[in-house]
A and B are shown apart, each in its own frame.
Chain A
Amino acid sequence: MSGIATSSIGVGRLDQAMFAPGSAHRVACLRTALVVIIGLRLISHQWWSMSGRPAELFRPVPVVSWLATVPPMWLLVVVEVVGLIAVALCVMSKWPRVTFVMAWASLFLLAALHSSAGKIMHNEVLLLLACIPLWFAPSWARPWDRRESTASGWPPRLALVVVAIVYFMTGLKKLISSGLDWVASDNLSWVLYAGAPSDKSVLPAVAIALAGTWLPPVIAGVSLTLELAAPLLLWGRRSRYLFAAGIVGMHVGIGLLIGLDYSAWALTVIVLVFPWDRLRQATSEERTTTRFLPIRLAR
């Protein structure tokens, strides 16, 4: 009985923390930063190169299973251009809620098609999932807006929870599939050896050299710990920065050594843990000081 009461108190506290008022400035800045990442992803890939894939080789993920094959090139280009226009409008705070969803939908459609070749691609997944709570961010919220509301509070917090759960599940999956062998064996060394010859590897020689040292199990242990501890680390304000630094290091390392592009994951974590409210406070203090400076001098 007391266990049920304690857990309901716990849920109540979580609920209170999640739905406490939050600043319009933070949610607006976060929405803008996320839409910029969407824009970067839209321009960093030749999405139109998918067109012409025969229907027989099209293995659609469920969200695009209504399509017979990849749409023609002109349509992919239109989707990308519409997405980029929406990004630009959202950055300029023009109908930000609608344009944010439009930009998201463009990347969603193109990335879903890209993931429809027989292998699930995860490169855009974290960004797309973390953006979903921001669909509901208030349309009136603007950067530097001092107002606070319930509507501005929960979308950024829920996005952070989504990121924490995704990283946790990624780590847990490793433990379930491979146990501690994932860390303690030569697993990461073989990942490095296998990935180094890839055309996309920037530092293949470093990958090969690193694979032959005692470091890979240590790196694997740190990475797995970071993933499993994501919910705890993202809960605390200071530990968030530690998590972000570790995760960014991990994704940069993966990119440089074996050429896998998880930059959208790293950027999503950065913008989610960035202290947008402190930026506003710091800037308003600066503005206040500047405004009152002549008066002080006059005295």
Chain B
Amino acid sequence: MRDLDGAPDDNRRLGRIVATSLLGLLVFCFATGNEWWPFSSFALFSEVRGPEQTSWSLYVVDSDGEASAVVLDSLPESHWGSHHVLPTLANASHHEQVAAASAWVEAAGYDLDTVEQVRVVRNVSAVPTDLQAPVEQISQTVTLEIDFP
């Protein structure tokens, strides 16, 4: 009996190829931790959360040695979410670090000629248990200092 779209055997063969590839890729990425988006290791809220939370911020040090915070939330929409790059910057080359830091600092309105250094800071704060409570800072650690040429 022929199927409406060709022989049923052809359809089964196509279906088996698609099923094996699709399910194989899903399982492979999960097992190996590879993020071949949209195939993923599906680490969604998989770590246990506690009373502390971590955030990252950027400070600009000018020629007078004054440090000021770059408000990442006030950057243009095109830069939204780019703070996720901050924790990975330490593994980049100095050239890449300067290029990335320049992109943030320029977007925040700083004159690059006056920038001596950019600092990447890891902030640990207490998770507020009240909507009105101010954020209680626990620690601030400079994880990276990028000297500008």
Which residues does A use to contact B, with CB under 8 Å? Answer: 15, 18-19, 21, 24, 46, 49-54, 56-57, 59, 61-63, 70, 108, 111-112, 115, 117-120, 122, 124-125, 128-129, 132-133, 136, 138, 140, 147, 149-152, 154-155, 158, 161-162, 165-166, 169-170, 172-174, 176-178, 181-182, 185-187, 190-191, 193-194, 196-197, 204-205, 208, 211-212
Contacts and interface: CB of A to CB of B under 8 A. Distances in A.
Interface of B: 3-6, 8, 11-12, 14-16, 18-19, 22-23, 26-27, 30, 35-51, 53, 76-86, 88, 96, 99-100, 102-104, 107, 127-131
Given A49-B78, A128-B38, A133 B18 contact: yes
A57 B79 CA distance: 8
A19 B12 contact: yes
Given A49-B77, A52-B78, A169 B42 contact: yes
Contact of B12 (A70, A150, A165, A194): A150
Contacts of B50: 186-187, 190
Contact of A119 (B3, B6, B81, B99): B81
B37 A177 contact: no
Given A151-B4, A158-B18, A118 B81 contact: yes
B21 to A, nearest CB: 9
A57 B103 contact: yes
Given A53-B79, A140-B5, A165-B26, A19 B15 contact: yes
Contacts of B107: 54
Contacts of B128: 193, 197
Contacts of A166: 26, 42
Given A149-B5, A151-B11, A162 B103 contact: no
A176 B30 CA distance: 11
A201 B14 CA distance: 44
B116 to A, nearest CB: 19
Contacts of B130: 208
Contacts of B77: 46, 49-50
A205 B15 contact: no
A163 to B, nearest CB: 11
B26 A158 contact: no
A136 B82 contact: no
Counting from the closest, the 10 A-B pairs by CB-CB distance are: A118-B84, A52-B78, A54-B103, A61-B37, A119-B84, A118-B85, A190-B49, A49-B77, A117-B81, A151-B5
Given A49-B77, A49-B80, A54-B103, A191 B129 contact: no
A117 to B, nearest CB: 4
A197 B95 CA distance: 37
B127 A136 contact: no
A57 B104 contact: yes
Contact of A70 (B6, B35, B39, B78): B78
25 contacts: A18-B19, A46-B77, A49-B80, A52-B76, A56-B99, A56-B102, A59-B88, A61-B37, A70-B78, A115-B37, A117-B85, A118-B81, A118-B84, A120-B37, A150-B3, A151-B5, A151-B11, A158-B18, A169-B42, A174-B46, A177-B46, A177-B47, A182-B48, A187-B50, A196-B131
